[in-house]
Amino acid sequence: MENPQRKTTDKDEPSYEIFKQGGSTFPKHRLIILFLGLLNAVLLITAVVIGNKCTKVKEGSLHISHPAVTQVFTELDFLRSNHSDVIEAEEEAKKVLERAIKNHEEIKVKIEKLKNISDGYQKQVEALRMEKANLQSNISALEGSCDSCLPGWILFNSSCYFFSYAESSTVKKNWHDSRADCVSRGSDLVVIDDQEEQKFVSNSIENMKSSSVHWHNGFWIGITDIEIEGTWVWINNVTEVEQRYWMDGEPNNDYQGENCGVAVYSSFIPWKTRYDGRCNVQKLHWICEMEPR
């Protein structure tokens, strides 16, 4: 008969899986614990090594990059400072531009006003030109109707002039006969009243030359000193007081009896165009003057 106290079942005692190696036996859980302990040791050693290397790498990285970082910050500060200057310059430029635009607008308004004024002046000028043309047309009409000169006579400043050379370049007379010819034409020898008329007479006879001798190309005019030697009187009884129209050294009464005035053309001194000639002996062309008819 079996002993009941020695009889056991799988439920009564824990069951362990037994490894047999070299005649000895190990439970399975102990082997796992040992393996995990070795693994932890390996991991700890690995972590320490990696930490040391990371520290060295970090220290090296910081050591290398520190000057570059300083330079970057320095340049950043410089750029920030310049940025402020740029902003101030931009604001100033905006103000200058605004002032320039304002001035431009003011100048534009002034130009427009000046243009309007100029247009007004231009219209006035055009009106005056038209008025001048109308007046000249009226003057021409009046000259043609009432203030006209006879054929062969020249109108100048409300007087008509006859140059005998224009009628005949060869016929010449002494002073008395020349005056008689003017009287027969309803006029008299020319009386020169002012410098403008003096220039007209001188310029008119410029191309009226009948001789190579300068003195022979003169024209009798209406002035004499027949009554009193040295006192020159025009035929209208006006005494000549202006001496600048006589040529240098004239009048001189050189041949005795040079008592009548002669006008010549002078390209050197246009206003010195007179000399005294011999009234009865010398024969020249003559100039007559009368009012328009």
Q: What is the pLDDT of residue 78?
A: 75
pTM, 2 dp: 0.52
Confidence of residue 75 (pLDDT cuts 50, 70, 90): confident
Across residues 53-65, what is the average pLDDT?
Answer: 56
Which tens digits make up the pLDDT trace of 110-125?
898 888 898 888 888 8
Contact at 8 Å (CB) between 216 and 222? no
Check residue 185 and give its pLDDT: 96
Domain residue ranges in the chain: 17-146, 154-290
The whole-angstrom separation of Cα 36 and Cα 43 is 10
Domain 154-290: assigned CATH number: 3.10.100.10
Convert the pLDDT of each residue in 10-40 to its tens digit.
444 444 444 444 445 556 667 777 777 787 7
Question: Who contacts 90 (Cβ-Cβ below 8 Å, separation ≥6)?
Answer: none
Measure the CA–CA gap between 143 and 231, rounded to whole angstroms: 38
**220 has a pLDDT exceeding 50:** yes
Q: Which of 194, 202, 179 is nearest to 288 (CA)?
A: 179
| % residues pLDDT > 90 (the chain) | 37
pLDDT of residue 179: 98
Question: What integer pLDDT is reported at residue 142 of this predicted model?
Answer: 56
Residue 28, pLDDT score: 67
| pLDDT tens digits for range 180-190 | 999 999 999 99
- If DSSP states are collapsed to H, E and C, what string results for the chain? CCCHHHCCCCCCCCCCCEEEECCEEEEHHHHHHHHHHHHHHHHHHHHHHHHHHHHHHHHHHHHHHHHHHHHHHHHHHHHHHHHHHHHHHHHHHHHHHHHHHHHHHHHHHHHHHHHHHHHHHHHHHHHHHHHHHHHHHHHHHHHHHCCCCCCCCEEECCEEEEEHHHHCCCCCECHHHHHHHHHHCCCEECCCCCHHHHHHHHHHCCCCCCCCCHHHHCEEEEEECCCCCCCCEECCCCECCCCCCECCCCCCCCCCCCCEEEECCCCCCCCCCEEEECCCCCCEEEEEEECCC
> What pLDDT sits at residue 11?
45
pLDDT, residue 1, reads 44
- Return mean pLDDT, the chain: 81
Q: Is the pLDDT of residue 52 over 60?
A: yes
Structure tokens at 253: 């009464």
Angle of CA points 201, 203, 206, to nearest 5°: 110
pLDDT bucket at 138, cuts 50 / 70 / 90: low
pLDDT value at position 69? 67
Instruction: Please indicate whether residue 271 or residue 171 has the higher confidence score (pLDDT).
Output: 171
The pLDDT, as a whole number, for residue 275 is: 94
Q: What is the pLDDT of residue 217?
A: 92
Q: Is the pLDDT of residue 62 over 60?
A: no
The rounded distance, in Å, linking the Cα atoms of 154 and 148 is: 9
At 120 the pLDDT is 86
d(CA 54, CA 48) in angstroms, rounded, equals 10
What is the predicted pLDDT for the residue at 55? 65
